[in-house]
Structure 1
Amino acid sequence: MNEMMLPDEVLASKIYHIREHKVMLDRDLAELYDVKPIRLREQVKRNTERFPENFMFQLMDEEAEVMVSQNAIPSKKHLGGYLPYVFTEHGVLMLANVLRSDRAIQVSIRIIEIFVKMREMLSAHKDILLKLEQLERKSIGHDVDIQLIFGYLKELLNPSQEPRNMIGFTRHGETEE
């Protein structure tokens, strides 16, 4: 597979949200880098100082179950008897440095570009969401005003049936009818 031919959607579909981080599974990265997953993990173990927890972490059993239920992982058996490691954006970049292949570098650059695009899209969506919230707040205030106007209109259309006193003055000795 030619890394430059990979559509953005394919790469983006391999990015997951776990523990408040956008991450990629070790097996997906190994496939993209065209190395065996065990080789990728060996390189990480040889360079553990380069992978602090905000660069890479191993999934817990519950998290792996969620990944299976969301079909990110076909089955736990597919994991080969281990819990997968996941890499954040910084971990993906560091991984390219420890694998030292041209393919790993090129694929990592593409992946980082996708992470950046995702951040930009999220930022744009936050702006839109903020505008919608502002409009909603304005309309809530208008809703109360509109309901008040409708209440007054209903009173005008359905006047009360109570007898009303005549307006004006009466002469002494006259009675109201």
Structure 2
Amino acid sequence: MSEDPTAAPLRTAVIVGSTRETRAGDTIGRWFAALAADRDDHVIDLLDLAEWEFPARRTDTPDSAVTAFTRRLARADGFVVVTPEYNRSFPAPLKQAIDYGFDEWRAKPVAFVSYGYRWAGRYAVEQLRPVFTELHAVTLRDGLHLDLLDGPPDAPGDGSADDRRRVAHQVLDHLSWWGLTLREGRAARPYAG
């Protein structure tokens, strides 16, 4: 008898896409990962790109860091990409990391937590959607978009911290549904991409 693919929690990789010294991404990524880890339906693997030593140039033979990174992508059932908006797009190190994988992204859901000023990272997300579509990943319609002018995501105050947590849980609910549905589909039949 085969194991029920919907029984186990979703293996969710939270990818922090900024590597700048002065970044908000590590705080936001860790906050979101901790929130998700408190749930029973997700097992979190935090991948902060600032902690990875990727090669400066792409080679035909992946080095040990690239191999370790893509193995962790392959283990994931779904992804949360935490991205800033830099010049109306997303950071180059994030694109490099995305491009290290190919099959690892296929038929898996990708949710977005974006941040920035004024537009709260929405331009970065819109740039990322076609990248993940090309990789045969499924991007979630709704995400969590944080305006840095509002302070840290867990800042007490006017109730906006409660709103951010509520939206974060909605994103995780949607990711769980898509992740389990796609995991069940991949178990039932190989992806035809």
Larger radius of gyration: 1
Q: TM-score, normalised by structure 1?
A: 0.28
Q: TM-score, normalised by structure 2?
A: 0.26
